[in-house]
């Protein structure tokens, strides 16, 4: 099992996926999870490995998804007397399973190291490559006539702007700093690569003109709007090295914090949920059902019990939740 888990970790890292590692660090019998048991939870909600069944599984998936999103570890304790303590790094749940055991788990986020592709061979490009490499990014360069001697810190240097030989991962960032050399074609290829983040080093006017050019060439508006330009945080940078610092700071902010969300009015926040919230919520609801007894997600593909109540299918993670529900269904289904 341990070797299989290591294989899965390596496979997820190779794909550039984010996931969480869960380990049982303490238990009180008769909990089925033993100290040292481990599992992975993917962003899809899939759990690989074993740390316990029943309500433990649902709670672990719920908390692991939050750990991946927040990129911050969390320790959780599930026990018959739980539910009284909660901090940013610690949370308690009531053990609703009939076994009435206790299990404590540590959930750690495993975030894929970001990759930066710099398009261009300008002075800003050289400074950015050096800074990003020093910050533990995987760095590649694409530019016509580029040579490895120009970018000694880069892991790969391509003498043409072509994304076909590059494996674009979820945490891939692209910065175009071509300084007037085929800007529109370079930006077009970068946007079409599917990279999570595409930035263009240019003035606001030049960026607007380039977007107009791309629109006239038939590029969809939603793709053009993904372009970040002018690239970099506004730190009043003047030197090439300062511009490079501002760009890297924006990338790190996006990587660590998910980027800065557009500010919406309070009325919009009440009536118009963000598109990504709708999409993520819909996908989660298709796969999981919130157990009405313990309020934790239950996989619809592998529930412990399913009952029908007033025309609605109700999914349970364990015997204890179903027994509680059967005693008084109206208490849980309003």
At 281 the pLDDT is: 47
The answer to whether 110 and 72 are in contact (CB under 8 A) is: no
Residues 115-257: name the CATH superfamily.
Answer: NAD(P)-binding Rossmann-like Domain (3.40.50.720)
Name the region of 70 (left: φ>0; alpha: ψ -120 to 50; beta: rest): alpha
**What average pLDDT does this structure show over 132-136?**
93
At 322 the pLDDT is: 85
The answer to whether 39 and 63 are in contact (CB under 8 A) is: no
At 108 the pLDDT is: 95
Report whether pLDDT(162) > 90: yes
| Least-confidence region, from 39-53, 86-100, 143-157, 220-234 | 86-100
- Alpha-carbon span 1 to 166, nearest angstrom: 33
Name 106's bridge partners.
23, 75
Residue tagged 């069944």 (tokens): 53
The whole model's pTM is what? 0.61
Report whether pLDDT(16) > 50: yes
| Least-confidence region, from 164-178, 228-242, 296-310 | 296-310
At 261 the pLDDT is: 36
Q: What is the tens place of the pLDDT at every residue in 258-315?
A: 643 333 333 333 333 443 333 444 455 567 788 888 777 777 877 778 998 888 899 8
Q: What is the tens place of the pLDDT at every residue in 56-67?
A: 888 898 899 889
Enumerate the domain spans of the chain.
2-110, 115-257, 273-332
Higher pLDDT, 30 or 149: 149
Residues 6+ apart with CB under 8 A from 258: none
**What average pLDDT does this structure show over 314-330?**
84
At 231, is the pLDDT very low, low, confident or very high (cuts 50, 70, 90)? very high
Residues 6+ apart with CB under 8 A from 76: 59, 60, 63, 90, 91, 92, 93, 104, 105, 107
């Amino acid at each position: 099992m341990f070797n299989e888990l290591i294989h899965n970790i390596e496979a997820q890292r190779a794909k550039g996926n984010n996931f969480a590692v869960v380990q049982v660090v303490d238990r009180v019998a008769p909990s089925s999870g033993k100290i040292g048991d481990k599992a992975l939870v993917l962003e899809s909600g899939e759990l690989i490995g074993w740390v316990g069944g029943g309500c433990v599984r649902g709670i672990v998936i719920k908390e692991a998804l939050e750990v991946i999103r927040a990129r911050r570890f969390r320790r959780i304790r599930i026990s018959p007397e739980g539910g009284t303590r909660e901090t940013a790094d610690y949370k308690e749940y009531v053990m609703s399973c009939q076994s009435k055991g206790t299990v404590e788990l540590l959930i750690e986020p495993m975030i894929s190291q970001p990759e930066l592709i710099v398009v261009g061979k300008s002075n800003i490009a050289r400074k950015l490559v050096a800074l990003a490499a020093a910050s533990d990014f995987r760095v590649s360069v694409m530019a016509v006539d580029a040579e490895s001697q120009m970018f000694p810190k880069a892991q790969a240097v391509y003498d043409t702007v072509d994304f076909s030989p590059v494996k674009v991962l979820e945490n891939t960032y692209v910065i175009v700093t071509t300084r007037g050399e085929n800007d529109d074609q370079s930006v077009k290829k970068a946007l079409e690569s599917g990279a999570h983040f595409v930035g263009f080093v240019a003035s606001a006017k030049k960026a607007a003109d380039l977007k107009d050019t791309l629109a006239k060439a038939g590029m969809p508006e939603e793709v053009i709007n993904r372009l970040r330009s002018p690239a970099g945080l506004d730190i009043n940078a003047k030197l090439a090295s300062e511009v490079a610092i501002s760009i890297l700071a924006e990338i790190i902010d996006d990587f660590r914090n998910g980027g800065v969300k557009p500010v919406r009015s309070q009325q919009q926040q009440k009536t118009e949920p963000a598109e990504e919230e709708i999409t993520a919520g819909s996908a989660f609801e298709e796969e999981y059902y919130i157990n009405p007894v313990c309020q934790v997600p239950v996989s619809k593909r592998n529930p412990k019990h399913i009952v029908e109540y007033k025309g609605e299918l109700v999914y349970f993670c364990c015997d204890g939740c179903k027994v509680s529900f059967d005693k008084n269904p109206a208490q849980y289904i309003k």
